[in-house]
């Protein structure tokens, strides 16, 4: 009967070892956020004229009436200025 007890004890040790190992192991399913293709700190702005989103460093910045506006191109900036002139004149 001595051998049986030894086997039983060994099995208990083995199970304990497996449980401990499972608890120590790093969690396998931590999701790395896939919906973040942008670099850290990079800010996107929206062109108010054509509605396009672009990184702020690529944008054309127009300061109008003390407010900063970001555009995808000079053409959109000009359009915005025209609209502003139009609304202030009429
Ligand atoms: Zn635009």
Model pLDDT for residues 24-82, shown as the tens digit of each residue:
887 666 666 555 555 567 899 999 999 999 999 999 999 988 999 999 999 999 999 99
CB neighbourhood size of 45 (10 A): 19
Quote the ligand 1 centre to 60 CA distance (angstroms): 9
Pairing mode, if any, of strands 67-71 and 60-64? antiparallel
- How many folded domains does the chain comprise? 1
- Is residue 31 in a domain? no
Quote the ligand 1 centre to 83 CA distance (angstroms): 14
pTM for this structure? Answer: 0.50
Rounded CA-CA distance 41/5 in Å is 62
Quote the ligand 1 centre to 2 CA distance (angstroms): 84
- Is residue 29 in a domain? no
- Is residue 50 in a domain? yes
- Is residue 71 in a domain? yes
* Backbone φ, ψ for residue 62 (5° rounding): -120, 125
The pLDDT of residue 89:
60
Which residue range(s) make up the domain with 76? 44-89
Quote the ligand 1 centre to 51 CA distance (angstroms): 7
- Is residue 72 in a domain? yes
Strand partners, 55: 44
Neighbours of ion ligand 1 (CB under 5 A): 47, 49-50, 72, 76
């Amino acid at each position: 009967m001595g051998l049986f007890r030894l086997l039983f004890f060994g099995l208990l040790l083995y199970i304990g070892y497996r449980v401990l190992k499972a608890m120590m192991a790093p969690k396998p399913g931590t999701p790395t956020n896939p919906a973040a293709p942008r670099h850290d700190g990079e800010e996107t702005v929206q062109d108010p004229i054509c509605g396009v989103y672009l990184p702020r460093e690529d944008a054309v910045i127009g300061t109008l009436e003390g407010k900063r506006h970001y555009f995808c191109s000079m053409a959109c900036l000009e359009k915005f200025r025209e609209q502003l002139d139009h609304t202030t004149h009429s």
